[in-house]
Structures are given as structure tokens and as C-alpha cells.
Amino acid sequence: MNEVDQYIQKIKSWKEETILLRQICLDCGLLEDFKWMHPCYTYEGSNIVLIHGFKDYFALLFHKGVLLRDTQNILIQQTENVQSARQIRFTSLPEVKELKTVIKSYIKEAVQVEKDGLEVEIKKTSEYDVPEELKDAFEHDLDLKDAFKKLTPGRQRGYLLYFSQAKQAETRKSRIKKYRSKIFDVKGYNER
């Protein structure tokens, strides 16, 4: 039994739906893999789609979904900070069955994106706003500034987004203080 079979066997919700999405992906000639704890489907080593379930819905995530034409207007940006991936969300098995042809056409387009070598222009870390509270912390604590610069760009972006999401200045200050030691440990805000 492979990892995807084990995954499907263990899931408590969206089992039939996952099996159908799996079959659709395989019917499109994609190779099956298991990445990020979910069934992932690839074309010549490139990630095309991922199947994942949530409490209220399950989804087919297109890794470069932002590059798809989305002729049916069904792709959803998971959160405002996701730059590349887009999801088709479902809440029932009949919904997947009804959209089967559309799903296949989106997968074929995603494969063509890979064949054409198209890439998503990802916003650089330097293009993100640095919250005033973090600027102040850097001015008063050069060691913190140096430690932050040693983080990978992805970890820096994670902190910038997390700190900026707080609506109140006091919350932003509190978050910066709380995560100071993690920054010094060269860890992202959501790493243990």
C-alpha cells in the first residue's frame, strides 16, 4: 500500500471525493506522489495539483494556479498572501462529478503552463512593508536586526506578514517581543 492509499484509508471526511479527484488526476496522465502530507500530482517532476481536505470543504490546489485563465471563474486564492497557488473548492461528491470535464481542462492547462516553462513572479522580501514597530525594534536592538537578516527570505516574509496582520500597534509590539528568541534561533514564527 503506497502513501496515498494510506492517506485515503485514514481520512475521516471527503474520502469518496478524494478518490474521485485522484482518479481524475491520474486520467490526465499525471504521476502520483505524496508531498506535504497530501496526494500530489506531477508532470515530468513539476508539481501540478495537490488534493487536500478541510473541515468545511476539500480542494484541488493548482501550484501555479495564478497563471491559469480560469475561464469558469472557479479558482480561489486561499489567503491574501498566497502568490502562486489557487484552489478549486468543493463541498460535495456531486459537485466534483458535475465539474469533472472542467477539472480535466484546468489540469491540462496547468500541464501546458509547465510545458511552456512559465513561472510565477514572486514578490521579493524587500517589496514587503516593514511594520513601524519592527523598524523601531531594529533601531533599538541591532542584534535583533542582524538576526532577522540571517533568516531565509521565506522566514523573513512570514514574520513581516504575521507582524503586519495585527491591527493594533500594541499587538504588533507584543508579537515582536514574543518571537524575538525564535528570530535569534533562526526559526520561522510557526516553527517549533
Q: Are 176 and 133 spatial neighbours (Cβ–Cβ below 8 Å)?
A: yes
29 contact partners, CB below 8 Å, separation of at least 6? 43, 111
- Judge whether 98 and 18 are in contact, CB under 8 Å: no
The set of residues, in sequence order, having a beta carbon less than 8 Å from that of 55 and lying 6+ positions away, is 13
CATH number of 3-115: 3.90.1150.200
Residue 164's H or E segment, with its range, is helix 153-165
**Closest Cα to residue 26, out of 51, 6, 3, 53?**
51
CA–CA gap between residue 155 and residue 189 (Å, rounded): 7
Cα-based distances in Å from 109 to 62, 113, 116, 117: 10, 6, 10, 12
Would you give per-residue pLDDT tens digits along the chain (192 residues)?
A: 899 999 999 998 999 999 999 999 999 999 999 999 999 999 999 999 999 999 999 999 999 999 999 999 999 998 777 889 999 999 999 999 999 999 999 999 999 999 999 998 888 877 888 999 999 999 999 999 999 999 998 899 889 989 988 899 999 999 999 999 999 999 988 887
3 state SS of 95 = helix
Closest by CA to 84, choosing from 122, 136, 113, 35, is 122
Class of residue 137 by CB neighbours under 10 A (exposed 0-12, middle 13-18, buried 19+): buried
Cα gap 38→85, rounded to integer Å: 15
**Amino acid, single-letter form, for residue 103:** I
Q: Where are the domains of the chain?
A: 3-115, 125-184
- Alpha-carbon distance 26 to 9, whole Å? 18
- Write down the pLDDT at residue 17: 96
Residue 31 has what pLDDT?
97
Q: How far does CA 192 lie from the centroid of its chain?
A: 19
Per the document, the length of the chain is 192
Res 119: pLDDT: 92
pTM given for the model = 0.74
